[in-house]
Amino acid sequence: ENHFITHLESMYDKRMDEVSASPGASHFCLQEVFGPYIPILVPWTDHYVNRQLLSVNLHVPDVRRLWPLLQRKMRPNVPYILLVQNAQGLKATVVNLNMAAMPNVLVLSAGGYGHVPVPLLKQAEDALVTHSSSTQATAPPPAYGLPSEVPRPLRKHPTNRTFVATYVGGDTNAPAMMRENLIKGLQALDEDPMANAINKSKLRIFSYYKGHAWREFMARSCFSLCPRGFGRTSYHFMEALQMGLIPIHVYRDVPWVPYLDFMQREQLAIAVRYDEVENLMRNVLLTSLSSTSTSSSSSQHDSWTLANIEETEQRILSYRESHFSFEGALNHIHAFMVDTGKSDLQCQRLPDSALG
């Protein structure tokens, strides 16, 4: 949210400076910066977190009182746009909000409840070091309490990795114990004789890990499972893409994937319902990974051979800055506002509930 606000403010200031520096120019059209929308620039999540952490006796602004004031000023025939990171969208800060009753308010949502999925980003993750690169390069990860310099994991060829798929992260937060059940189901699959009979790749089927060495664990896997958390997505999805790895987004009701059509067209990620994960692993990934085919087929089954995974990862890396970085995401958001045809972001139907 703060990046979004700062980005639009800087674009507005830049355009103002350009007009001021042009002889004879006295103004410019706001549509050049904001498109047809009036942006509502509020750090919703900051206000939400502050209200949760600080005593109500302190003079902390209550954003819940802001929305009724805004609504009284908003015109029904004018389109508005805002960005919310919170998993519950505006409902986290606005009591008794009926999103369906606001057809002129477009919500860009990083957390999973709105009209346009946008990347959920926390910290920038470095791409894995390739086997031809120096392994001395380091990536500072202060958010995880690690030493100031940590060796970046080495990117090995898929045939030299340890696992078909891994999940690194918390085993709670998702509704109906989804993460816990997912981990148990895949651990059982890893020990299933029939599944291992299908698996000719010599890689272990699955492993779960939670700890400081999660980046290195991901580097040893062909696919990174990214199950949804409290909201419809997780930070881990974008972390995997920034590292140049193939994420598997696991959802319950609707997938919440930024650039969904683009991602599917370029085959950069997999989205699967939680109750279809075992089928995906057993009948798609294990079967195709065991194939010796090197053809570039458009079908999902043929595209996940060991021979093609490295090519897919290089394709992910080619879009790292343009789509999966803070700057890339903000550029796509701005392009969506001004000319949707120049952005890979897209609208989708408002989910039936905030959390799903």
pLDDT digits (tens, 9 = 90+) for 194-238: 999 999 888 999 999 999 999 999 999 999 999 999 999 999 999
The vertex-33 CA angle with 30 and 36, nearest 5°, equals: 65
Give the model's pLDDT for residue 141.
43
Give the model's pLDDT for residue 314.
95
How far is Cα 148 from Cα 339, in angstroms, rounded to an integer?
A: 42
* Cβ neighbours for 198, distance < 8 A, ≥ 6 positions apart: 282, 286, 287, 290
- Residue written as tokens 């408002």? 350
94-148 pLDDT, tens digit each: 878 888 889 999 999 999 999 999 999 998 999 998 765 444 444 444 343 344 4
Would you say 337 and 81 are in contact if contact means Cβ atoms under 8 Å apart? yes
- Residue written as tokens 């346009």? 116
How far is Cα 193 from Cα 88, in angstroms, rounded to an integer?
A: 42
How far is Cα 126 from Cα 129, in angstroms, rounded to an integer?
A: 9
Sequence ranges of the domains in the chain: 2-109, 158-288+300-325
Would you say 261 and 233 are in contact if contact means Cβ atoms under 8 Å apart? no
- Residue written as tokens 């991602």? 263
Query: In the 8-state DSSP scheme, what is residue 91?
Result: G
Would you say 141 and 152 are in contact if contact means Cβ atoms under 8 Å apart? no
Mean pLDDT of the chain: 88
How far is Cα 7 from Cα 79, in angstroms, rounded to an integer?
A: 20
Fold of 158-288+300-325: Rossmann fold (3.40.50)
Locate the DSSP E strands across the chain.
Answer: 38-39, 80-84, 105-109, 116-117, 129-130, 154-155, 163-168, 204-209, 221-227, 246-251, 270-273
Give the model's pLDDT for residue 53.
61
Alpha helix segments (H runs only) across 22-145:
31-34, 44-53, 66-73
How far is Cα 312 from Cα 290, in angstroms, rounded to an integer?
A: 17
Give the model's pLDDT for residue 339.
95
CA 95 to chain centre: 27
113-127 pLDDT, tens digit each: 999 999 999 989 999
| Token pair of 100 as six digits | 């369906």
- Beta-bridged to residue 45, according to DSSP, are none
Q: Which residues of the chain have pLDDT under 50?
A: 57, 133-148, 296-301
